Amino acid sequence: MRLGIIFCLLFFTMNSFAQIDTTVSLVSKIDAFPQFELYDGNQIYMMGYTTTIGGAIKAPSPTLNFKEGDSVRIDMWNLSQGPPHTIHLHGLDVNQENDGVPALSFAVEHDDTGSYFFKVPHPGTYIYHCHETSVLHVQAGMYGLVIVRPQSADTLTWENGYSFHREYAWMTSEIDTNWHVDSIINHPHDTTATTHLILDYNPQHFLVNGMSEHQLDNSSAEIVGGEGETIYLRLANIGNYGNTYLFPAGLNAVVIASDGRPLPASFSADTLEVLPGERYGVLFEANSQFLDSIQVDYFSLNTQEVENTQYVNVDINGYVGVSEINIESRVLMYPNPASSVLNIEFENDEQESGFVRMTNMLGQNVLEQKFSGSKVALNINTLKSGMYTVQVICENRQWRQQLIIN
Ligand SMILES: [Cu+2]
């Protein structure tokens, strides 16, 4: 009888473990020495979550990827010297006990561990961050993204939602380096919480995925995609400033989700404001090839003044479902740079018919001309100087090349 009870208990214990679909382990800690590198080469102290004890702290902390409906367990081990930490799941509908608001839930003391259990609700974009002395700890770097995808496919916004070819996620924040010094960031645990926060917040660094200025060039934040592809950009703002995004018109941006929920009606927008704590989902579908950038303005909520602007490159290239042949081997395009006439010649005097299309950096068509034969001359002297994409489109093949008009 007693043995039976033990077996029953064992069975139920094992069963309840089996019901966890995903387990995440996070270590909350503080840099032992300044090592988070800013674009100007300076290094500062950060607090953050890592997946390994020795892992360097990055901002944002690792993205947590979940599937809708999964049962999740997040284990946190607090290795910071001094202050307790929590994981608050911003925007996710989890119960109070597991929501990481210290007074309503629990905080994890130094050298202690704690676990959060929840069933993942709606697909969408969310934020996790520390809710202990949160003004300081969030500024210190204790934040990351939570991305919830539908069970059926990773390339679907939600069940029966939009499908996409590529996905990007940007988390914006700021850094005031005056807060990232040992005396402030390495503060002892203090139940009065904010009494040591004596500094005004005057950020000097404005980040997209922890990067700014030249750090963003050729970075993983850059939007690279093909003409005709659907690209999904997830946006989340964990800073204290508002963000205004300016999308190139050629991306045909459509806002489809807000704060982890599908919008009742999607809308086209070349600008979008994202306030602290907010998340948005934006779909792009470029129907031409271009190089441009998305502009991110950071504005103070007190003054509404834009205090900084960052640019992230956009490179729409290639084709979906159409084979691309290197233009240099099949057609000659000269001169380049050009100023009044652009000549296009097919190799070996091949006879072709089709049309030539030129698009500017915004992806707008500026010239389209039909041709047939082995040569075509384009009159381009009305076009402004700048970079253009020239496409030669024939019945069964097409070529493209960048052209500079001076
Ligand atoms: Cu904390």
Q: Could you tell me which CATH number the domain at 327-405 has?
A: 2.60.40.3080
Tokens found for residue 156: 């679907």
Distance from residue 176's CA to the centre of ligand 1 (Å): 17
Within the chain, all domains assigned CATH 2.60.40.420 are found at 20-153, 174-319
Q: What is the mean pLDDT of the chain?
A: 87
pLDDT higher than threshold 50 for residue 118 = yes
Distance from residue 132's CA to the centre of ligand 1 (Å): 5
Distance from residue 197's CA to the centre of ligand 1 (Å): 14
Distance from residue 131's CA to the centre of ligand 1 (Å): 6
Distance from residue 47's CA to the centre of ligand 1 (Å): 8
Predicted confidence band at 304 (pLDDT cuts at 50, 70, 90)?
A: very high
pLDDT of residue 66: 95
Report the CATH fold assignment for 20-153.
Answer: Immunoglobulin-like (2.60.40)
Whole-number percent of the chain with pLDDT over 90: 57
pLDDT higher than threshold 60 for residue 275 = yes
Within the chain, all domains assigned CATH 2.60.40.3080 are found at 327-405
Average pLDDT over residues 209-225: 93
Average pLDDT over residues 261-270: 94
Distance from residue 80's CA to the centre of ligand 1 (Å): 9
Average pLDDT over residues 80-85: 83
Predicted confidence band at 41 (pLDDT cuts at 50, 70, 90)?
A: very high
Distance from residue 312's CA to the centre of ligand 1 (Å): 30
Distance from residue 19's CA to the centre of ligand 1 (Å): 29
Distance from residue 58's CA to the centre of ligand 1 (Å): 15
Q: For residues 173 and 141, what is the distance between their CA atoms, to the nearest angstrom?
A: 9
Q: For residues 216 and 210, what is the distance between their CA atoms, to the nearest angstrom?
A: 9
CATH architecture of 174-319: Sandwich (2.60)
Distance from residue 260's CA to the centre of ligand 1 (Å): 24
Relative to beta strand 61-67, strand 88-90 is unpaired
